[in-house]
A and B are shown apart, each in its own frame.
Chain A
Amino acid sequence: MKGVLLYCFNTEFYRYDKIAAKTVPLLKKNLKLPITIVTNYDTFKLLPPLGMVNYILTDHETGNYINRKPWHNLDRHRAYELSPYDKTILLDIDYFCFTDYLLTLADADNDFLVHQDVHDLTGKGSYKFRQNSMIQMVWATVIVFAKTDRAKAIFDMVRHIKENYSYYTELYRINFRNFRNDYAFAIALHQLGGHQNYDVIPAKLPTLPGVAKVLGINNDEITWQVEDNIGKTSGTDVHVIDKGVQNV
């Protein structure tokens, strides 16, 4: 069985439950797959009724930060054991699904797929990270995985990398010192793939970077602003970085 797995943990700064209230209905409408949300009790209490959704209540690990704010991203490696599905589409909670594109990826036999490239919808070229490490980063925003020994090994490897992250940042000369799943998965794939290439999603991840302030969202499109320019994106899935989206 195929299904979607989401992580949703509020922080003292961001209300991810409010973002889930916008993204979950889009997932239900466009993918028509069962959805499971991994969350904690405090966040669960704030989530609005989302219809048929499974919840896994668990405590999350703390201690990671981004821009001096708590970043609850240390539990992604548990997705393999937590997912009730044979084929899982693991998504960031701020992934806005406007199409059925992810179903195509889930139809492939590959047991582990991620994006290697990103498409900045603002045209600002915000994501040129190639000089920030020895290996190319992958984007852990969308991970499509099956319950295979190899996929399990990748998640186990990510846990190991997380526990020894400073060592791996030195080894791969990664200049993001706070734990980042994107690098942890890139390292895991590199290590377990015999330091060779691995299969990736043959398209770019459409992303609105943090400089783009989201002005509005409906069932079909997102309106955003960068400086004086207002843009609209429709008919494509979008990964939204601007956490202000919680209040739109």
Chain B
Amino acid sequence: MDIRELKNLSDRSYRIALSKKNALEKSRSSSVLAYSGHLFKADAQIINLVQVLKQKHKSFVVLDSNDNPMLVTNPDEFLDRLISKNQEALNTYHQLYQDITTKG
């Protein structure tokens, strides 16, 4: 490879890295959920926590994204909302990621 090709490769890698970073940040914003007046990041951590707690308790307390406590009285509904928000955001990220890596 000559220096021009190497530079093109480097530029392409930069574009991919930046696009991936922006797509990931977009996904993080999209995963913010308002539920019962609280804000949550619908990420794997809260989804797993709610899934585990609902197996043991009919109602329980979780912390929102600002560490404010919220009593969960309908765990199934809350979990459904979290999962759908999470997957909505990640599906978009997945599509963008495929576009980014194939088109460069």
Contact = CB atoms under 8 A, between A and B. Distances in A.
A204 B26 contact: no
A109 B18 CA distance: 34
A204 B92 contact: no
23 contacts: A99-B30, A101-B29, A101-B30, A101-B32, A104-B33, A105-B39, A108-B37, A108-B39, A109-B37, A110-B66, A119-B22, A123-B14, A200-B66, A202-B32, A202-B41, A203-B32, A203-B41, A204-B29, A206-B25, A229-B11, A231-B19, A236-B25, A236-B29
Nearest to B65: A202
Interface residues of A, number: 25
Nearest to B30: A101
Interface in B18-47: 18-19, 21-22, 25-26, 28-30, 32-34, 37-41
Q: Is the interface of A mostly helix, strand, loop or mixed?
A: loop
A89 B97 CA distance: 32
A199 B66 contact: yes
B32 A233 contact: no
Contacts of A200: 66
Contact of B26 (A199, A229, A235): A235
Contacts of A236: 22, 25-26, 29
A99 to B, nearest CB: 8
B55 interface: no
Nearest to B96: A235
B38 to A, nearest CB: 7
Interface in B63-104: 65-66, 68, 92
A79 to B, nearest CB: 21
A204 B28 contact: yes
B58 interface: no
Given A104-B33, A203-B28, A206-B25, A231 B39 contact: no
